[in-house]
């Protein structure tokens, strides 16, 4: 059952409460001040090509701006994931459209969204910085939302039948079922994929805060634009300063947010035998001993949750009595009709654009698709080879997890493009050159999706099954074949699907890179998209994006869809 005893009160120690309370109050005041500065920045006059300073003294403000954008994009991604995943999991008709659409959306590179999003929002707010900021947040959202949505959808589809039957027997409304069954069951996967999503936001921050559309140069003050400016200038010292600032920010977020959440989510494991209690992180223990946190929980959070529960339980039951299947069918038909109209219009416009593509450009797209596909397969294979055993080890051994989890999050958060100058210089004399460097960059951007999902799957393995394996004296090979791989299979499929989408997405920065005033590129769809975005060639940009969509849809229907069906049927944790 999902409550808010996240900050369950512990007996206070004399040396802690006052210090912790002061830290919390200072953090609250700093947050309020930061929000006021961000609001002032959003309301300021539009400055498309803001000057980006490479001085270390600019890093605190740049880091705060980037943290706000990533945080706002994450909250938007979380809301989208819950709504979209819930609708796809509980409507067979919607599922047939929404899941393939999700496959497409997660594979479309950020730069394919960029022109339409940025030009529309800047046009909507032509005199204010608000349009540019909202555009950057939405672009970061496009790099965060998909793996969280896949995780929540997969968790809903794999809820054991006896738990659903118990909820039905107890007469749960949709709100009670969501809050007391579905969110708790999905908590582990959702939290670990949230870590990956935020790390992905850092990865694409450089593309979202500093970009060129034809002759228009858009820049936002932030850590991503700082690193992009430093990498473009080949300023190694500035790159080191920027990465150091990012490491500090990621470490702080991990300590304050993700570690407490991961420890809290461990209580939602589906098992009948409790394992040895894990030692909670120091930050969670300090928060639980805080008087301010306890006061907020007792006076604000608990009454608010009680009112929400009462309101939604009553509303859900009344809606269930007023609106039968006929009402839902009418609403679904209206939404389907509107979606079909929009899709028809977009297809017509795409057809007009594609009609102007020459044979030479079509041949270039075909060669680029084959080259990028080969890199995606190579990156997935290399990533899975090390991340599956590493993720299982981290998930099954709490001591190792306490050390490796923050290190993995730090490594996943550092934009590989910031390290790209070093990689290019190291491989410039090798036989493969930039082609090998592009595969490494793609690997650095995608392997973490597999790792974090495998860790979530290993953490979620019930202790009673592990005890049964020990009692039956399973060998290492037998344990992997009959316990570990079947248990993590749904999580592994989610990780591979999102990693594949992330690999296609990462191709825009892996195959086309600005370095010391020159452009390094290798044949591929990513380089075609990046080149088209730089030149403002929207026809070629659209054509390359459509090719990616067609390739991804074909692969998903032929391969990933079958693995998802296998995960939902044969490897579903049930009794």
Please tell me whether residues 392 and 482 are part of one structural domain. yes
What pLDDT, on a 0 to 100 scale, did the predictor assign at position 113?
A: 65
Please tell me whether residues 381 and 501 are part of one structural domain. yes
Cα–Cα distance for residue pair 135/216, rounded to 1 Å:
15
Query: Could you tell me if residue 91 is inside a domain?
Result: yes
Tens of pLDDT, residue by residue over 425-434, are: 666 566 666 7
What pLDDT, on a 0 to 100 scale, did the predictor assign at position 114?
A: 66
Q: Where in 215-270 does DSSP place strands (E)?
A: 216-219
Query: Could you tell me if residue 405 is inside a domain?
Result: yes
Please tell me whether residues 262 and 288 are part of one structural domain. no
CATH number of residue 373's parent domain: 1.10.3720.10
**Is the distance from CB of 233 to CB of 516 less than 8 angstroms?**
yes
Total domain count for the chain?
Answer: 2
Cα–Cα distance for residue pair 199/193, rounded to 1 Å:
10
Please tell me whether residues 35 and 131 are part of one structural domain. no
Please tell me whether residues 38 and 82 are part of one structural domain. no
Query: Could you tell me if residue 346 is inside a domain?
Result: no
Query: Could you tell me if residue 381 is inside a domain?
Result: yes
Query: Could you tell me if residue 235 is inside a domain?
Result: yes
Q: By residue range, what is the domain housing residue 91?
A: 44-271+354-569
What pLDDT, on a 0 to 100 scale, did the predictor assign at position 384?
A: 92
Tens of pLDDT, residue by residue over 57-113, are: 889 888 888 888 999 999 999 999 999 999 888 888 888 888 878 877 776 766 566
Query: Could you tell me if residue 339 is inside a domain?
Result: no
Cα–Cα distance for residue pair 575/161, rounded to 1 Å:
8
Please tell me whether residues 251 and 294 are part of one structural domain. no
Please tell me whether residues 420 and 514 are part of one structural domain. yes
- Give the position of tokens 């849809």: 553
Q: How large is the C-alpha radius of gyration of the chain?
A: 24
Please tell me whether residues 207 and 172 are part of one structural domain. yes
Q: Taking the model in full, what pTM does it have?
A: 0.73
Q: Where in 233-385 does DSSP place strands (E)?
A: none
Query: Could you tell me if residue 348 is inside a domain?
Result: no
Tens of pLDDT, residue by residue over 268-303, are: 776 555 555 556 666 666 666 667 767 777 777 777
Please tell me whether residues 363 and 426 are part of one structural domain. yes
Query: Could you tell me if residue 419 is inside a domain?
Result: yes
């Amino acid at each position: 059952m999902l409550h808010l005893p996240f900050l369950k009160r512990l007996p206070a120690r004399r040396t802690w409460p006052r210090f912790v309370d002061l830290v919390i109050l200072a953090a609250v005041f700093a947050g309020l001040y930061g929000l006021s500065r961000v609001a002032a920045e959003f309301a300021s006059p539009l400055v498309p090509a803001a000057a980006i300073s490479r001085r270390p003294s600019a890093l605190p403000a740049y880091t705060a701006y980037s943290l706000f954008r990533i945080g706002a994009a994450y909250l938007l991604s979380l809301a989208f994931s819950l709504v979209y995943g819930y609708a796809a999991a509980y409507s067979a008709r919607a599922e047939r459209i929404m899941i393939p659409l999700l496959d497409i959306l997660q594979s479309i590179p950020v730069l394919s969204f960029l022109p339409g999003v940025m030009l529309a929002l800047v046009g909507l707010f032509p005199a204010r910085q608000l349009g540019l900021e909202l555009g950057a947040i939405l672009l970061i959202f496009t790099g965060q939302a998909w793996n969280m949505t896949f995780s929540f959808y997969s968790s809903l589809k794999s809820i054991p039948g006896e738990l659903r039957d118990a909820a039905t027997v107890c007469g749960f409304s949709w709100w009670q079922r969501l809050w007391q069954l579905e969110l708790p069951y999905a908590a582990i996967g959702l939290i670990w994929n949230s870590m990956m999503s935020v790390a992905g936001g850092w990865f694409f921050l450089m593309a979202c805060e500093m970009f060129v559309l034809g002759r228009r140069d858009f820049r936002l003050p932030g850590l991503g634009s700082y690193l992009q400016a430093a990498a473009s200038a080949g300023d190694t010292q500035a790159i080191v300063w920027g990465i150091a600032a990012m490491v500090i920010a990621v470490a702080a977020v991990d300590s304050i947010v993700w570690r407490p959440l991961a420890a809290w989510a461990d209580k939602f494991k589906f098992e009948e035998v409790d394992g040895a209690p894990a030692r909670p992180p120091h930050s969670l223990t300090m928060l639980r001993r805080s008087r301010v946190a306890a006061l907020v929980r007792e006076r604000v959070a608990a009454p608010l949750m009680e009112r929400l529960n009462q309101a939604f339980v009553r509303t859900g039951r009344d809606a269930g009595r007023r609106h039968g299947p006929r009402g839902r069918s009418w609403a679904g038909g209206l939404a389907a009709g509107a979606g079909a109209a929009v899709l028809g219009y977009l297809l017509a416009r795409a057809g007009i654009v594609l009609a102007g593509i020459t044979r030479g450009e079509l041949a270039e797209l075909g060669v680029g698709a084959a080259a990028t596909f080969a890199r995606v397969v190579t990156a997935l294979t290399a990533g899975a080879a090390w991340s599956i055993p590493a993720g299982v080890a981290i998930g099954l051994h709490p001591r190792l997890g306490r050390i490796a989890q923050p290190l993995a999050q730090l490594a996943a958060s550092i934009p590989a493009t910031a390290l790209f100058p070093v990689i290019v210089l190291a491989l410039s004399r090798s036989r493969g050159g930039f082609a090998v460097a592009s595969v490494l960059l793609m690997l650095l951007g995608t392997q973490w999706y597999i790792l974090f999902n495998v860790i979530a799957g290993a953490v979620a393995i019930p202790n009673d099954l592990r005890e049964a394996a020990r009692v039956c004296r399973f060998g290492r090979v037998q344990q992997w074949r009959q316990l570990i791989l079947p248990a993590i299979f749904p999580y592994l499929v989610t990780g591979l699907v999102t990693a594949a989408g992330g690999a296609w997405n990462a191709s825009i920065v892996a195959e086309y890179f600005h370095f010391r005033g020159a452009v390094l590129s290798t044949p591929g769809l990513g380089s075609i998209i990046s080149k088209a975005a730089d030149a403002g060639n929207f026809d070629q940009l659209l054509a390359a994006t459509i090719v990616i969509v067609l390739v991804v849809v074909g692969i998903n229907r032929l391969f990933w869809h079958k693995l998802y069906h296998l995960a939902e049927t044969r490897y579903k944790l049930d009794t």
